[in-house]
Amino acid sequence: MIPIRNFRIVVQYEGTRYQGWQRQDSTGNTIQGKLEVILAKMTGLDFVQVDGSGRTDAGVHALGQVANFKIDTELPAEEVMDYINQYLPEDIGVLSIEEMPERFHSRLNAKGKTYQYRIWNSRIPCVFERRYVYELAEDLNLDAMKAAASYFVGTHDFKAFTSNKKSKKSTVRTIDEIQLERNGKELVITYSGDGFLYHMVRILTGTLIEVGLGQRTPESMAELIRANATRDLSGALAPAKGLCLVEVRY
């Protein structure tokens, strides 16, 4: 009898044409869905479940999404990876594979994540990177944005920074660091923390952009991380295409 083996993979994808990570009944056009179809074909099973470290929205990209799946196969790990990559579309790729203990779970065992949001802050179009950046022509005050971002570092209730109004789970999260770096016409915001709520990074970014445009003050951020703050008090939801999941830590 072939034993069940638990594999962890690191997946990279350009999310432009996909409806996010999570499998959906209404479409097969998701990252999770594509992986599951290929693994079912490889094993001859009707279904193989692939668990990701978390969901990414439609249009969001990933440099280092982590997922795991359990299959009974005698194939070496590298051959499993080669098989998956053979049938994946060109905008999704498995970068590495590793056999893990049975109890490993890519989401439940994750200790932290890093996301990056890229803003092309110029009136000149960003032709070749347009799928990966949010193009914003108005000048941004970087110093004001840095001052605002400092309020979010630490452990806070980020209820005002999620679009999920129905969840009864805790909205308290810890952000370890937020870096804002300007490189020519591009502004990159890097978020590292123990975990992020639904739409949290995009709403944080939208709020920081409003500070950069002079529509909010850095000091007003203090009101947004109070326990009774609500979504209507925070900023706009920044476009998905500027966001990328960089790393998942274990």
Identity of the amino acid at 35: L
Amino acid at 25: D
Nearest residue to 176 via CA among 154, 158, 200? 154
For 13, 22, 27, 236, the CA distances from 248, given in Å and listed in that order, are 15, 17, 27, 26
Q: Could you confirm whether 46 is annotated as catalytic?
A: no
Q: What long-range pairs does 195-198 form, CB within 8 A, spacing at least 24?
A: 195/54, 195/110, 195/112, 195/113, 196/54, 196/113, 196/115, 197/158, 197/161, 197/162, 197/164, 197/171, 197/173, 198/55, 198/162, 198/163, 198/164, 198/167
**Tokens 């805790």, residue located:** 170
Contact of 3 with 54, CB cutoff 8 Å: no
Look up residue 146 and give its DSSP letter: H
CA 246 to CA 196: how far, in whole Å? 13
**Catalytic site residue from 57, 139, 176, 194:** 57
User: H helices of 91-199, where?
Assistant: 142-149
Rounded alpha-carbon distances, angstroms, from residue 95 to 161, 188, 209, 232: 32, 24, 33, 40
As annotated, the active-site residues are 57
